[in-house]
């Protein structure tokens, strides 16, 4: 399973889109806003987007699709809080990766995305492979990771969680506590309490 590099670019462009609004207003009101800020005052976002849908292309023409019910940009520290993020893109080997969760926090400077609440990460087989009668059954099966929390480092393409995780492929499944996954190397490490259920074809 491999990531392309458009995920971080997508978030950066989304950040620029909402930050542009923030900059137009913050430059004129930054001094007065600072004076009015109180320690016990609830932090408010600098900008937000509701029901946003984006398709971001990299230099090679690879697209990353991103949607959310709401995205809120905070400037100190810089972060984007996302309600119901949904992300999908195709890998270099023509497989589709999807990420869905109830909420997410993206830190643009570190390119780190934290997903929480019914997180589901899937690798879908290529469309042409799915329709090919000569393909192996293993190639037709969807690969799924489920947990309450995942963290993605887009710079290193590293996914991790210290929560309970379930990994399924076809009718086989593995449960464990904690997971490290190196996407580019197609390597997964299950940390503890590993239990598996295998169905052999």
Q: Which domains does the chain have, with CATH numbers?
A: 6-35+63-197 (2.60.450.10)
- The tens digit of pLDDT for each residue in 143-193 reads 899 999 999 887 787 889 999 999 998 889 999 999 998 877 878 899 999
Q: Show pLDDT as tens, one digit a residue, over the chain (201 residues).
A: 444 455 555 555 565 555 554 555 544 444 444 444 444 456 787 788 889 888 877 677 778 888 999 988 888 888 889 999 998 888 777 788 899 999 999 888 888 889 999 999 998 887 664 455 554 545 568 889 999 999 988 778 788 999 999 999 888 999 999 999 887 787 889 999 988 887 766
Question: CA–CA separation, 61 vs 43, rounded Å?
Answer: 38
Q: What are phi and psi of 60, to 5 degrees?
A: -85, 0
**Which H/E stretch holds residue 11?**
helix 6-36
Q: What is the pLDDT of residue 44?
A: 82
Contacts of 82 (CB under 8 A, 6+ apart): 68, 70, 71, 72, 103, 104, 105, 106
- CB contact at 8 A, 167 and 191: no
DSSP state for residue 148 in the 8-state scheme: E
pLDDT of res. 138 = 53
Residue 128 neighbours by CB distance under 10 Å: 9
pTM of the model: 0.71
Per-residue confidence (pLDDT) for residue 191, from 0 to 100: 93
Would you state the structure tokens that stand for residue 76, as one six-digit string? 């100190």
């Amino acid at each position: 399973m491999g990531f392309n590099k458009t995920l971080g670019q997508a978030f950066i462009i989304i950040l620029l889109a909402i930050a542009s609004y923030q900059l137009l207003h913050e430059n004129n009101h930054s001094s007065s806003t600072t004076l009015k800020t109180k320690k016990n005052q609830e932090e408010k976002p600098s900008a937000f987007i509701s029901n946003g849908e984006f398709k971001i292309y990299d230099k090679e023409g690879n697209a990353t699709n991103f949607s959310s019910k709401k995205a809120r940009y905070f400037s100190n520290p810089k972060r984007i809080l996302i309600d119901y993020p949904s992300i999908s893109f195709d890998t270099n080997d023509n497989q589709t990766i999807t990420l869905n969760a109830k909420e997410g926090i993206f830190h643009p400077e570190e390119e780190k995305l934290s997903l929480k609440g019914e997180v589901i990460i899937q690798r879908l087989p290529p469309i042409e492979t799915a329709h090919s009668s000569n393909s192996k059954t293993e190639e037709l099966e969807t690969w799924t990771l489920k947990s309450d929390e995942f963290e993605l480092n887009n710079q290193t393409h590293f996914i991790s969680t210290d929560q309970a995780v379930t990994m399924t492929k076809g009718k086989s499944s593995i449960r464990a506590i904690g997971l490290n996954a190196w996407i580019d190397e197609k390597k997964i490490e299950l940390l503890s309490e590993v239990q598996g259920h295998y169905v052999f074809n």
